[in-house]
Amino acid sequence: MRIAVVSEVSAVAQNVAVVSVLDGRGHEIVNAGMKSSQDKPELTYIHTGLLAALLLNTDRADLVVGGCGTGQGFMTSVMQYPNVICGLIANALDVWLFAQINGGNCISLPLLYGYGWAGDVNLRFVFDALFNVKFGKGYPPHRQESQQLSRRNLARISMLTHKPFAQIIESLDDEIIRPVLSFPGVVELLAPNTLEDMALRDAIARRMQ
């Protein structure tokens, strides 16, 4: 699994802790957002929401780990885009249930609110639980079939209720799209010239000009 970490400015101090607890689990980790408070341009949760959605919609990541002070802002931001199922995750039970029932591809962590003594330990427990279940399996067992159907329906609803991603890229204001596309490493990670979606490839190229 390719996992992208997208840290924004208010919670960038926890970036090292998030990456650390993901390392060594047999997955490819891409630290795609802010790594330090000195990074420019600064990315808010508005920007990391777009970045996360870009990575998922271009298949550059299988799972995105984001968050902000409370986790609410990033979750709200990223869920404005198609093909994103995000959960607000505060503890191991949250993520254990989210992975099985909702089969999501994005998690939002509260990285200031409630993040205190042993916060890094709680993060480790969260990812221990996340990688210990089958995504989208369903829980409890007698509800598995119904929940799998709901997950498929949710994916279809997301496609029906959103514009194509290329149109979204075309229509976003400069103050939203430019910090993301100009952030160090993002264009290299997206490798837009290799995208199979020609409309999305062209849209990104035009916004990079």
Domains of the chain by start residue, with CATH: 2-208 (3.40.1400.10)
Share of the chain above pLDDT 90, in %: 93
Residue-level pLDDT at 196? 93
Is residue 65 within 8 A of residue 22, CB to CB? The reply is yes
Residue-level pLDDT at 95? 97
Mean pLDDT confidence for 157-165: 93
Chain segment 102-117, per-residue pLDDT in tens: 999 999 999 999 888 9
What's the pLDDT band for 49 if we cut at 50, 70, 90?
very high
Whether residue 64 is predicted with pLDDT greater than 90 in this model: the reply is: yes
Residue 108 zone, left/alpha/beta (φ > 0; ψ -120 to 50; rest): beta
| Burial zone of 99 (CB within 10 Å; 0-12 exposed, 13-18 middle, 19+ buried) | buried
What value does the mean pLDDT of the chain take? Answer: 95
Tokens describing residue 160 = 């029906």
Share of the chain above pLDDT 70, in %: 100
Mean pLDDT confidence for 169-173: 96
